[in-house]
């Protein structure tokens, strides 16, 4: 019964949100509550919801202050040189901008934290996309692909969880799939080139006056020239009108230097985990706000300006906490894992690693990272061992798909709502746009793993 309720809840969530019948926030809260009531868990519902909320609270706090921090930095013009450099390199070509987006994401994602990757890349690049009239779905999609592949690094979430769940070392899990990760990076660059070429053709067709681009702006008659500089602007909040760009006054040079040094120190501290991430962003924002906006009036004005941005993103995260709290507390997640394993026929047992790799990405839409790696993966590894397969091979397969190319698409991952929220796109639109490209990434890496011997057929 709990397994059936869980599958029905997930299916209804995906159906309602992807068809835009209800908002993601409503679906995240209402559907699991209804499922819990239907399953007879009414008496335990309050505790399960509070447990889910408490688990996402640190993430919600971190994201609230991270959004405020990077919004302040965008207002101050910290990313303007990067924007100008990208435009000069791209020469106003949407295809080159798209490839540059992939390269920047692959570099920034080395810190292993999806939330900070999305905050930095979207804040820096959204004004470029707005200026060129490019669709924000291209931005969220390409960032999704790059961050997904880089999530395989040993200090990233999937690999750490896989090693912990099966008590393995990095040499058992990550090192063998490093060549496959190279295949994935190459595919992301190819995919971004193909997506960018398609976006170039779309914008090229919008040449008449009065025709609007997907971003809601009039299509430029000609592409910006090499010497064109973007207008210093802040990233529009998700609730802004189509094509909205808020112009910001350039900061004095001394403030720009200070902001750059503060941001570098913050990022280094994040990578080294000097303090918990929420604490680092709280302190970083407080210092940045005091230095850049020393008066009470200036500080209040900045908070008022970005309040909608913070609320839209953080409410999604807490709603996701309700969703995962109820599904975990009712036992739906555990029963769903057992149900999936029970349907595996003996004839495919020897090929279980390939099956795990291929199905991992779609399953990231159903299971949270903890539920998959600490609930599903041990059962899969034990099953595979019964067929004579090394559990480490199953761990590698899981890392190739589940929460690697799937995490920037999953509604069960808080970072997903940062990406779609700051890009100003709907979750369902984002999923429809990039799902096939992300699934292709999993297939390419799986093929690479087979060719290099990390996985056996």
Residue 207 CA to residue 215 CA, distance in Å, equals 15
Residue 400 CA to residue 407 CA, distance in Å, equals 12
Q: What is the pLDDT of residue 156?
A: 67
Q: Name the pLDDT band for 284 (thresholds 50, 70, 90).
A: very high
Q: What is the pLDDT of residue 181?
A: 93
This prediction has a pTM of 0.66
Q: Is the dihedral of CA 69, 73, 75, 76 positive or negative?
A: positive
Instruction: Tell me phi and psi for residue 294, to 5 degrees.
Output: -70, -20
pLDDT in tens, 58-86: 878 877 888 788 888 878 888 778 767 77
Strand partners of residue 454: none
- Return the SS3 of 165: helix
pLDDT in tens, 352-367: 889 888 888 888 777 7
Dihedral angle computed from the Cα positions of residues 447, 448, 452 and 455, in that order, rounded to the nearest 10 degrees:
-50
Q: Using N-to-C axis directions, what is the helix angle for 427-451 and 136-150, rounded to 10°?
A: 40
Cα-based distances in Å from 45 to 12, 29, 288, 316, 424: 20, 12, 41, 20, 33
Q: Residue 142: is its pLDDT beyond 60?
A: yes
pLDDT in tens, 393-421: 988 998 887 656 667 788 777 778 888 88
Residue 93 CA to residue 110 CA, distance in Å, equals 27
Q: What is the pLDDT of residue 209?
A: 42
- Mean pLDDT for the stretch of residues 330-346: 76
Q: Residue 273: is its pLDDT beyond 80?
A: no
Long-range contacts of 254-262 (CB under 8 A, 24+ apart): 255/76, 255/291, 255/292, 256/76, 256/77, 256/78, 258/291, 259/73, 259/76, 259/78, 259/288, 259/292, 260/78, 262/287, 262/288, 262/291
């Amino acid at each position: 019964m709990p397994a059936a309720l869980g599958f029905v809840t997930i299916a209804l969530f995906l159906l309602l949100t992807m068809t835009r019948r209800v908002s993601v926030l409503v679906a995240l809260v209402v559907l699991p509550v209804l499922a819990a009531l239907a399953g007879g868990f009414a008496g335990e519902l309050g505790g399960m919801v509070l447990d889910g909320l408490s688990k996402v609270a640190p993430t919600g706090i971190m994201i609230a202050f991270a959004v405020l921090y990077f919004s302040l930095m965008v207002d101050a013009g910290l990313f303007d040189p990067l924007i100008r450099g990208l435009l000069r390199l791209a020469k106003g070509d949407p295809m080159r901008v798209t490839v540059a987006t992939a390269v920047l994401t692959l570099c920034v994602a080395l810190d292993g934290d999806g939330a900070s990757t999305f905050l930095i890349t979207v804040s820096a690049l959204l004004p470029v996309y707005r200026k060129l009239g490019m669709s924000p779905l291209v931005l969220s999609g390409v960032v999704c692909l790059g961050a997904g592949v880089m999530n395989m690094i040993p200090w990233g979430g999937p690999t750490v969880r896989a090693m912990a769940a099966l008590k393995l070392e990095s040499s058992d899990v990550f090192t063998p799939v490093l060549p496959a990760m190279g295949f994935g990076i190459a595919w992301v660059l190819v995919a971004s080139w193909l997506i960018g070429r398609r976006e170039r053709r779309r914008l090229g067709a919008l040449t008449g006056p009065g025709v609007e681009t997907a971003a809601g702006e009039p299509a430029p008659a000609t592409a910006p020239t090499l010497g064109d500089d973007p207008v210093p602007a802040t990233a529009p909040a998700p609730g802004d009108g189509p094509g909205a760009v808020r112009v910001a006054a350039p900061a004095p040079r001394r403030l720009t230097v200070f902001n750059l040094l503060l941001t570098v120190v913050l990022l280094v501290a994040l990578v080294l985990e000097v303090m918990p991430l929420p604490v680092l962003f709280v302190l970083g924002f407080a210092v940045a706000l005091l230095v850049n906006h020393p008066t009470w009036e200036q500080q209040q004005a900045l908070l008022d300006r970005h309040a909608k941005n913070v609320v839209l993103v953080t409410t999604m995260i807490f709603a996701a906490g309700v969703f995962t709290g109820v599904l975990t507390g009712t036992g739906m997640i555990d029963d769903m894992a057992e149900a999936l394993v029970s349907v595996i026929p003996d004839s495919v047992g020897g090929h279980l690693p390939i099956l795990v790799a291929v199905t991992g990405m779609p399953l990231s839409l159903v299971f949270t990272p903890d539920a998959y790696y600490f609930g599903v993966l041990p059962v899969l590894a034990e099953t595979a061992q019964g067929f004579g397969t090394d559990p480490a091979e199953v761990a590698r397969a899981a890392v190739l798909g589940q929460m690697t190319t799937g995490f920037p698409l999953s509604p069960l991952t808080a970072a997903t709502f940062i990406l779609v929220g700051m890009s100003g796109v709907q979750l369902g639109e984002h999923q429809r746009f990039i799902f096939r490209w992300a699934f292709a990434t999993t297939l390419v890496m799986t093929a690479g793993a087979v060719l290099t011997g990390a996985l056996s057929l």
